[in-house]
């Protein structure tokens, strides 16, 4: 652990995919950057997620019908979206705000900025893969499959909205599924292919990006908890972290779900809650699909990753509880054979089990920009399930804002003032 004083142009707190991508953009522009993290690169939600790079995900978490599903599933700890009844009183304000945003107008307002953010991110992944590579990036599309006609109808409606953002979709029947995934039978009524989506190994990307940062001379400080930020005259002057004092011209809070606690120590209250997700990673069995799948009704992703197959899913609003819930892991594992009946079940001894916390805002959109009331303290957090998919575009957007340049998209939808207040 380092001690003493560090000076830099920008201090970035958080070495997950968002913080690393912010540091990549800033360092490429000649900024002297120091990167701090409570653990180290890819130690949190950036490690075990599904690895989907999905510009097609233009519908935010807060959408029509979600509240009804949450209420239906509240009593089922194995459900795709679980809200612990014990957490309801503490989360009442967040839940009410979330419910107010679950309407068609909010979805329409969100689609264009989300599409811009996600499509720019995919283009940056394309460029990084061409220049650096080595993180399992494949742009083959993502196939969403449906077991029920109701689910298929909902999928068609969503695909129509995706097409409004200029992205192609392809609806396929059972025969089409066989052609797209000849490796194994899929038990489903049909599917929708999003051909411009991609996938990667998330931990491999963060580590590769981290090595690029080190080669550029970016200083890293791991295993430190940021204790606070010193403010003077409407500006942040320095941050302290267990014996380390960092003085910088600009600061970025990009610590994922932990950003809410970090911001509290710095004097802000943020409407951000942790939503726990799970994954199981196993050696790829015979017949493993080469194309990433999204099992629609089960809300489970199936992602091929260099000799492995990852099953990821569920959203659990239960606070910062890092315990692995066997019921939720079991629900993911049990969903796969309902769609892919010929895949051999994973063996306990060879399966890696993981959980991580996604940071969620009440409207399902990230917070990207200045914290209100201060000139040089920025936040990049609250990406919910699209953190991996949106990270490079977030880094670019924040770098443009910090440099006073024209941003590539309208930033009002991501304005932190929506849910950030001085304490």
Q: For residue range 269-294, what is the model confidence (pLDDT) as tens digits?
A: 999 999 999 999 999 999 999 999 99
> What does the pLDDT read at residue 2?
53
* Residue 54, both tokens: 């999905």
> What does the pLDDT read at residue 85?
81
pLDDT in tens, 29-38: 999 999 999 8
pLDDT in tens, 162-197: 999 999 999 999 999 999 999 999 999 999 999 999
pTM of the model: 0.96
Mean pLDDT of 376-385: 96
The fourth-level CATH superfamily of domain 4-46+204-268+365-422 is FAD/NAD(P)-binding domain (3.50.50.60)
> What does the pLDDT read at residue 203?
96
Q: Find the range with the poorest average confidence among 151-155, 297-301, 312-316, 400-404.
A: 312-316
> What does the pLDDT read at residue 79?
84
Q: Which residues contact 405 (CB under 8 A, 6 or more apart)?
A: none
pLDDT in tens, 235-245: 999 999 878 89
* Residue 59, both tokens: 């519908």
Instruction: Report the helix count and the strand count for the chain, using DSSP H and E.
Output: 10, 21
Band of pLDDT at residue 40, cut at 50, 70 and 90: confident
> What does the pLDDT read at residue 3?
58
Mean pLDDT of 248-255: 96
The separation between CA 58 and the C-alpha centre of its own chain, rounded to angstroms, equals: 13
Q: HSE, CB side, 13 Å, CA atoms: give it for residue 241.
A: 27
Mean pLDDT of 214-231: 90
> What does the pLDDT read at residue 1?
43
Q: Measure Cα distances from 301 to 50, 133, 143, 312, 345 in Å.
A: 6, 23, 10, 5, 16
Of 3 and 33, more confident: 33
Domain ranges of the chain: 4-46+204-268+365-422, 56-102+139-197+273-360
Q: Find the range with the poorest average confidence among 10-24, 122-136, 308-322, 356-370.
A: 308-322
Mean pLDDT of all residues belonging to the chain: 94
Mean pLDDT of 10-23: 96
pLDDT in tens, 93-120: 999 999 999 999 999 999 999 999 999 9
The continuous run of DSSP H or E covering 268 comes out as strand 268-270
The continuous run of DSSP H or E covering 230 comes out as strand 228-232
pLDDT in tens, 383-418: 999 999 999 999 999 999 999 999 999 999 999 999
Distance, in Å, from the CA atom of 399 to the CA atom of 24, rounded to the nearest integer, reads 10
Q: Find the range with the poorest average confidence among 67-71, 153-157, 279-283, 375-379.
A: 67-71
> What does the pLDDT read at residue 227?
87
Mean pLDDT of 226-230: 88
Count other Cβ atoms within 10 Å, centred on residue 236.
Answer: 22
Q: Measure Cα distances from 288 to 304, 343, 344 in Å.
A: 8, 7, 9
Strands 228-232 and 198-199: unpaired
Strands 219-221 and 377-381: unpaired
Mean pLDDT of 209-218: 96
Which CATH architecture best describes the domain 56-102+139-197+273-360? 2-Layer Sandwich (3.30)
CB 339 within 8 A of CB 304: no
Through-space distance between the first and last CA atoms of the chain, rounded to whole angstroms: 31
CB 115 within 8 A of CB 165: yes
Distance, in Å, from the CA atom of 84 to the CA atom of 258, rounded to the nearest integer, reads 20
């Amino acid at each position: 652990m380092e001690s003493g004083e560090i000076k830099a142009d920008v201090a970035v707190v958080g070495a997950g995919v968002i913080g690393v991508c912010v540091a990549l953009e800033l360092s490429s522009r000649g900024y002297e950057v120091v990167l701090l993290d409570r653990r180290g690169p890819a130690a949190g939600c950036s490690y075990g997620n599904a690895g989907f790079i999905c510009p097609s995900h233009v519908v935010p978490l807060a959408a029509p019908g979600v509240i009804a599903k949450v209420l239906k599933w509240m009593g089922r700890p194995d459900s795709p979206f679980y809200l612990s009844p014990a957490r309801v009183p503490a989360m009442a304000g967040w839940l009410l705000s979330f419910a107010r945003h679950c309407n068609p107008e909010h979805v329409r307002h969100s689609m264009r900025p989300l599409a811009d953010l996600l499509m720019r991110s995919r283009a940056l992944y394309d460029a990084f893969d061409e220049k650096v590579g080595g993180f399992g990036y494949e742009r083959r599309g993502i196939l969403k499959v449906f077991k029920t006609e109701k689910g298929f109808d909902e999928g068609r409606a969503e695909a129509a909205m995706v097409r409004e953002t200029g992205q192609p979709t392809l609806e396929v029947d059972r025969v089409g599924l066989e052609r797209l995934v000849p490796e194994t039978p899929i038990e489903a009524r049909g599917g929708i292919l999003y051909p411009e989506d991609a996938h990667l190994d998330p931990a491999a990307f963060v580590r590769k990006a981290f090595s690029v940062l080190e080669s550029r001379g970016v200083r890293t400080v791991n295993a430190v908890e940021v204790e606070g930020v010193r403010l003077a005259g409407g500006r942040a002057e320095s941050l302290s972290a267990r014996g380390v004092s960092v003085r910088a011209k600009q600061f970025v809070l990009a610590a994922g779900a932990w950003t809410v606690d970090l911001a509290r120590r710095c004097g802000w209250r943020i409407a951000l809650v942790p939503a726990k997700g799970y994954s199981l990673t196993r050696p790829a069995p015979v017949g493993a699909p080469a194309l990433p799948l999204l099992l629609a009704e089960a809300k489970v992703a199936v992602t091929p990753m260099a000799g492995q197959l990852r099953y990821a899913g569920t959203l659990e609003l239960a606070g910062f509880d890092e315990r692995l819930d066997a019921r939720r892991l079991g629900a993911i594992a049990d969903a796969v054979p309902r769609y892919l009946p010929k895949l051999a079940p994973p063996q306990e001894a060879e399966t890696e089990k993981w959980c991580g916390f996604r940071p969620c805002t009440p409207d399902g959109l990230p917070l990207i920009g200045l914290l209100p009331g201060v000139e040089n303290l920025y936040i990049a957090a609250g990406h919910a399930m699209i953190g991996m998919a949106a990270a490079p575009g977030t880094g670019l957007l924040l770098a443009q804002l910090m440099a006073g340049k024209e941003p590539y998209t309208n930033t009002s939808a991501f304005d932190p003032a929506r849910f950030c207040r001085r304490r």
